[in-house]
Amino acid sequence: PSNVYSFFHRTEMSRAWVKKAMDIMPGGVTANIKSFPPYPIVMKSGHGAYLEDVDGNEYIDYLLAYGALLVGHNHPKIKESIVRQMEEDGTNLFGTPHEREYRLGKRIQSYYPSMEMVRYTNSGTEGTLLAIRLASSYTGKQKIAKFEGHYHGGYDQVLFSIHPDDQNAGPAHAPKPVAESKGIDPNYEKNIVILPFNDLKGTEAILKAHKDELSAVIIEPMQGGFIPATRSFIHGLRKITERYGIILIFDEVKTGFRIGIGGAQSFYNIQPDLTVLGKVIGGGFPIGIVGGRKDILMECSPSRSANLLGGGTNVLFHSGTYNGHPTILAVAEAVLDILEEDGKAVLKRTEQLKKELEDLFRKRGIPMNALGEGTIFSIVLSEKIVKNDRELQTTNLSLRKKIDYLLLNEGIYTKPMNRYSLSVAHGEREIERTLEAYQNVLYKKL
């Protein structure tokens, strides 16, 4: 069997670069998640479905910037949209309303009819932050409920129970909050309620107990982008939240545009009260879009404000120098153009890759589900189809990790243990090369 880190004799430049970067950035990275042992591979460029690192190694990219690049790297239409926008409107950020904000909003609404009104933000994190404040402002309540294993951004209000430590996490049907960071004000723990994903009975009991204090339930309709809510669970959740007057927020930062162009809400045929989009629609640039019921979004209408800042006690204050950045909204329009043309083909190709990978593992005698919907999935090594994070922890994670590291030798890139995302640039050739790579690892290297 091959040494798990055998690839890293081909990444000397990365090693040297990370060592140097550690002088100025903790761990040599700009986000903790970018780090992995023995050291992260430093990339230099991306074209289509491919990444090239600083040592000149080439990879088919399945990380795709944590799913953001459904249009792939360096798409000509994205480049063209940036240049055209700058030539037509100038390089300036206006700091004023502009036409694209309306135009893109209407186009988004055509795919996400639940988004009766929208606001733009600069990231998914800022998006969920705004959605939660909208729910609190509208209901006059402070507590929020989130599901164990679900991620909504790295801030104090929601950074709980993402990879819960079993000792403190409580029983599966009634999980307890576990902070995911040092430095979180313990007061936030009092305002968070943790729910068991895909367990309707457990979820209903907890929501009932807290119904008078809860402003919102926030959910990733597919946990981590790849563990789908069952239909009965998510429809049940919609009914319960309606019954108790709790705002239902769909965090579609990962699933938006990836589970088909209309996201998870179209897949499940559910109207959430609020939706957060991000990642894909930015085509590689930072964006978030929050939308939903008009009566809730109107909480932040400046007409309610008594001062020139648009703030005060009668209005939800929402601001941001870069919100609705004209260049990024031009990119977002190009992303929609590309998806309208090529989006269906990526869905088909992902299905093909998932099926062929499952066949390959079956023939090799390793139980595996390529779990997920649309253009995103994960390799889950287990007989059974997992339904939440705790079940995922019982699968063969050490073998999965080994396979991911060995695939680096074969030119397949995802951060070890991450999901697989596809792009419009992943064609027949890339699928074939990926299957060959897996064949080599499963039969010759394990």
Helices 326-364 and 76-89 sit at what angle, rounded to 10 degrees?
A: 170
Q: What element of type H or E holds 291?
A: strand 288-292
Judge contact between 181 and 210, C-beta under 8 A: no
Q: Is 277 exposed, middle or buried (0-12, 13-18, 19+ CB in 10 A)?
A: buried
Q: What element of type H or E holds 195?
A: strand 192-195
Of the pair 39, 250, the CB lying nearest ligand PLP is at: 250
Calpha distance 300→290 (Å, rounded): 12
- Which residues of this chain interact with ligand PLP, rule CB under 6 A? 66, 123-125, 128, 151-153, 220, 251, 253-254, 278
Shortest Å distance, C-beta 286 to ligand PLP: 7
Shortest Å distance, C-beta 16 to ligand PLP: 28
Of the pair 27, 154, the CB lying nearest ligand PLP is at: 154
Judge contact between 212 and 140, C-beta under 8 A: no
Shortest Å distance, C-beta 172 to ligand PLP: 22
Calpha distance 135→213 (Å, rounded): 12
Of the pair 262, 310, the CB lying nearest ligand PLP is at: 262
Taking CB atoms, the residue at the shortest distance from ligand PLP is 124
Shortest Å distance, C-beta 34 to ligand PLP: 12
Of the pair 125, 215, the CB lying nearest ligand PLP is at: 125
Shortest Å distance, C-beta 429 to ligand PLP: 29
Shortest Å distance, C-beta 18 to ligand PLP: 22
Shortest Å distance, C-beta 218 to ligand PLP: 9
Of the pair 251, 410, the CB lying nearest ligand PLP is at: 251
Alpha helices, DSSP H only, in 198-325?
A: 200-210, 231-244, 263-268, 294-297
Of the pair 120, 361, the CB lying nearest ligand PLP is at: 120
Cα dist. 342→47, 120, 333, 334, 437 in Å? 17, 25, 14, 12, 26
Residue 393 token pair: 């922890």
Of the pair 376, 442, the CB lying nearest ligand PLP is at: 376
Of the pair 8, 250, the CB lying nearest ligand PLP is at: 250
Calpha distance 196→149 (Å, rounded): 9
In eight-state DSSP terms, residue 80 is: H
Shortest Å distance, C-beta 431 to ligand PLP: 25
Phi and psi, residue 90, nearest 5°: 90, 165
Helices 231-244 and 200-210 sit at what angle, rounded to 10 degrees?
A: 10
